[in-house]
Amino acid sequence: MRPTLLLFFLFFSFLNSLAQVNERDDWIYLQGSIRSAKTKEVIPFSHVTVKNQPIGVVSNDEGNFSLNLEYRHIVDTLVFSAMGFKNVEYKISDYVKKNNLTIYLSDSSYMMTDIIVLSIPAREIVSRALKSLEKNAPTQPYRLTGFYRTSFRENFVYKRLFEAAVDIFDEGFLIPNGISTEIINSRKSDDFRNYRWKEGANYLASFIYGDFVRNPEGNLRELFPKWEFVFTGITFFENHEVFEIAAELPTENPYEKYIARLHIRVKDYAIMEMNYDYKWDPYRFKGTDVDSISFLRTGVKVKTIYREYRKKMYLSYQDRQATWIIVDRNKPGKSQPVNMEIHDELMIFNIRQRQRRQPDEKINEFGDIYLEADNYNRRFWRRYNKPVETALYRAIKFDLEKEESLDRQFRRTKVDNIYR
């Protein structure tokens, strides 16, 4: 080989290795799992945060997490916390040397006295929590950055997937409709649905407005007088006692059921977590008609988790699963009914006080979110924080890749193959 050519290859190799080092040094990629020290079982939906920073993620339902950080956070500390467990702290500089660790959290054995518990009825606890919303919720403008995913399943087979990096701009708790969303980047699968209609709701918009604390028309506040509340115990989170409250909305109709569960911090009545589970008999209630299709709702489950930053509670994670049955009037008797399911997930990993102006346009509540798909940027998604794969995501991927790899589907342009 000629000396000049040899020098060229050596120089090119040097630049390539330097680029890899710089890329590696610019970011820290952390991953791991969280389990109970006592039972060794996974602890789902645990908080993994950077101490005294607005950065953090929630572990998935299998207890696994991943967190991508800029290298400047190497001097910071990770905090692992979960409802009912004691915190564990880990220096990031130490964690990154081993990485992919299993963190074991010890159960909290602290319990309040029965006198304190019995002196406050469950309804009064929830009432104080609602009255304290303005004090505990952020009233100044802020921005949340996170990851949104929605999947659609038809007759137990996943038919399409949409994922987006999003910024959520909020004018503060005192402004009821002061929310707008900007999609930073997105990617989508092809649309393999057999049943298609003109979408009447933007799933991302309805999902964000479904925060029952932030939304003034949420069921917790709007229907508070009708709910029945029962105190079920005291647990522990980040060195603070937390009330556990079960709730049910009585109905005269035996074909519908509404239950909920709340975690409310004792010291200031801040709402830490809410879970809703609504069920209906689809054949006992009038459905919603879109085009030639009648939608008969069967159930909705919503999980909402909040995280404290600078003494205010911010949305940290939200999950929604809605199921229904559709009847197509244009196809009578053909494999009726059809089971439909939509699963939404929103994970917030950064909280910022307003750093730039809110977009001029409010989030559009109508239309198909899939039409918002942008050109796929593989490098962007490799660095962006997103949930670790779960059994659910693996099932989505398995079904969608029967036709073609997801990466190929992601790389399609905005509108080319939405209605394949």
Q: Are residues 79 and 198 in the same domain?
A: no
Burial level of 355, CB count in 10 A (0-12/13-18/19+)? Answer: exposed
Residues 6+ apart with CB under 8 A from 50: 56, 69, 73, 76, 77, 78, 79, 92
In a domain, 7, yes or no: yes
Question: What confidence score (pLDDT) does residue 415 get?
Answer: 42
Is 58 found in the same domain as 146? no
Identify whether 113 is part of a domain.
no
Distance CA 419, CA 193 (A): 9
Tokens coding 108: 């909290």
User: Which SS3 state, helix, strand or coil, does residue 184 take?
Assistant: strand
Are residues 60 and 177 both part of a single domain? no
Looking at the structure, tell me whether residues 145 and 234 fall in a common domain: yes
- Same structural domain, 328 and 195: yes
Start-to-end Cα distance in the chain: 52
| Residue 419 maps to a domain | no
CA distance 407 to 376: 9
- 336 CB contacts (<8 Å, ≥6 apart)? 327, 328
Q: Helix, strand, or coil here: 372?
A: helix
CATH of the domain at 70: 2.60.40.1120
Give residue 8's pLDDT.
43
* Residues 224 and 366 placed together within one structural domain of the fold: yes
The pLDDT assigned to 291 comes to 74
Is residue 187 located within the same domain as residue 69?
no
The verdict on residue 112 lying in a domain is no
Same domain, 155 and 296: yes
Tell me, what DSSP letter sits at residue 107?
B
**DSSP 3-state assignment of 110?**
coil
Could you tell me if residue 401 is inside a domain? yes
Residue 29: DSSP 8-state: E
Of 45, 80, 105, which residue is a domain's last? 105
In a domain, 53, yes or no: yes
- State the Cα–Cα distance between residues 110 and 84, nearest whole angstrom: 9
**pLDDT tens track for 280-330:** 888 777 777 777 778 888 999 999 999 999 999 999 999 999 998 888 777
Torsion angles phi and psi, residue 75, rounded to 5: -90, -5
User: d(Cα 298, Cα 256) in Å, to the nearest integer?
Assistant: 9
Evaluate whether 66 touches 27 at the Cβ level (below 8 Å). no
The type of residue at 295 is F
Domain end position, chosen among 58, 75, 105? 105
Does residue 152 share a domain with residue 97?
no
400: how many CB neighbours lie within 10 A of its CB?
A: 21
Other beta carbons within 10 angstroms of residue 64's beta carbon come to 20
The answer on 395 and 352 residing in a single domain is: yes
Per-residue pLDDT at 21: 35
Determine the structural domain holding residue 294 and report its residue range: 122-410
44 shares a domain with 128: no
Residue 14 lies in a domain: yes
Give the count of domains, the chain: 2
Residue ending a domain, among 53, 71, 105, is 105
Question: Residue 247: helix, strand or coil by DSSP?
Answer: strand
Asked whether residue 416 is assigned to any structural domain, the reply reads no
> How large is the C-alpha radius of gyration of the chain?
24
Rounded Cα distance, 338 and 249, in Å = 29
Give yes or no for a contact between 82 and 104, defined as CB atoms under 8 angstroms apart: no
- In the chain (420 residues long), the average pLDDT of successive 10-residue segments reads 47 40 66 95 95 94 94 95 94 93 86 57 93 91 93 93 91 82 88 79 74 68 86 89 93 88 95 92 79 84 93 93 85 74 94 70 69 78 88 94 91 48
pLDDT at 48: 96
Shared domain for 162 and 266, answered yes or no, is yes
